[in-house]
């Protein structure tokens, strides 16, 4: 089965309701949600998930950094369907782990994913966009490998400590 992973605070603005609804429309997909969820949010997500009969949705709760990285490493795809976002660290972590990414075109995500050359970008708040992206991507091993490789190269080139340090030093010297 395709193993999707969501990492973050499990709240509405992270697109979790659309994500779970999308997963009810697909087969051979498992979704693990890593992060804290209020009980009412979790129950609402489980109600949506019940549209699909098999046991496909798992909540891990909050995990340590090490266990979260293990989750990212074992996922087929990290999915970040946020409605709004800044510069989410989980995107960089997935890139560094070589885990392909599907994420919404919000905040800093398009720049992080080099406007889609390092991951699949979708529109926010769209169940249909999530379904289309996952179905066209989850079982395409060459495409997943390409995005994983390009993402890892980009995070090491653009977002490594040495790269950031060189950029900051250049800015400081120009002032």
The model scores a pTM over 0.75: yes
Q: How far apart are CA 113 and CA 26, in angstroms?
A: 25
Predicted pLDDT at 167:
85
Secondary structure of 1-54 as H, E, C letters: CEEEEEECCCCHHHCHHHHHHHHHCCCCEEEEEECCCCHHHHHHHHHHHCCCCC
DSSP 101: E
Predicted pLDDT at 175:
86
Q: What is the mean pLDDT of each run of 10 residues along the chain (175 residues)?
A: 94 98 96 98 98 95 98 98 97 97 98 96 98 94 96 95 88 90
Q: pLDDT tens, 85-123?
A: 999 999 999 999 999 999 999 999 999 999 999 999 999
The answer to whether residues 120 and 91 touch, using CB atoms and an 8 Å cutoff, is: no
DSSP 118: S
Predicted pLDDT at 51:
96
Predicted pLDDT at 64:
97
Predicted pLDDT at 74:
97
């Amino acid at each position: 089965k395709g193993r999707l992973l969501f990492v973050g605070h499990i709240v509405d603005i992270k697109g979790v309701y659309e994500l779970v609804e999308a997963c009810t429309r697909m087969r051979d997909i498992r979704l693990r949600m890593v992060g804290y969820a209020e009980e009412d949010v979790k129950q609402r997500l489980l109600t949506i998930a019940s549209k699909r009969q098999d046991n496909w949705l798992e909540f891990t709760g909050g995990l340590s950094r090490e266990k979260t990285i293990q989750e990212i490493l074992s996922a087929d795809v990290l999915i970040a369907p946020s409605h709004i976002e800044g510069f989410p660290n989980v995107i960089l972590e997935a890139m560094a782990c070589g885990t392909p990414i599907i994420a919404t075109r919000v905040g800093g995500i398009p720049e992080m994913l080099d406007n889609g050359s390092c991951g699949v970008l979708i529109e926010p708040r769209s169940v249909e966009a999530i379904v289309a992206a996952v179905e066209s991507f989850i079982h395409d091993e060459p495409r997943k490998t390409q995005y994983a490789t390009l993402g890892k190269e980009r995070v090491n080139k653009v977002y490594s400590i040495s790269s950031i340090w060189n950029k900051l030093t250049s800015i400081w010297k120009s002032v």
